[in-house]
Amino acid sequence: MATTIFLVNPREGGVTPPSYLLDTYSAAAAYSLRQLKTGVTSVVRVRRSSDNREENFTATEITDGTLTGFCGGGNGFVVTWYDQSGNANDATQSVASSQPRIVLSGVIDTDTNGTPTLYLPTGNSYFNLTSNINEVQQFHNFSVFTRPASGNRTTTSLGAASNDWIFSWATGNARRTDLNTNVSYDTSTSTGLFLQNNNRNSSNGVECWFNGSSIGTGSITTSSFVFTQLLRYSTLGNSVGSLHSEVIYFESDQSANRTAIESDINGYYSIY
pLDDT digits (tens, 9 = 90+) for 204-220: 888 888 889 887 777 77
- d(CA 200, CA 191) in angstroms, rounded, equals 26
Q: Which residues contact 213 (CB under 8 A, 6 or more apart)?
A: none
Considering the four listed CATH numbers 1.10.1270.20, 2.60.120.200, 2.60.40.650, 2.60.40.3680, the one that applies to the domain covering 22-269 is: 2.60.120.200
Domain boundaries, the chain: 22-269
At 153 the three-state DSSP class reads strand
**CA distances to 44, 112, 142, 261 from 266, in Å:** 22, 14, 11, 9
Q: How many CB atoms lie within 10 A of CB 172?
A: 11
- d(CA 33, CA 40) in angstroms, rounded, equals 11
pLDDT digits (tens, 9 = 90+) for 102-153: 999 999 999 989 999 999 875 678 898 999 887 767 888 898 988 765 544 4
Q: Whole-model pTM?
A: 0.86
**CA distances to 83, 137, 241, 271 from 224, in Å:** 22, 7, 31, 32
Q: How many helices (H) and strands (E) does the chain have?
A: 4, 18
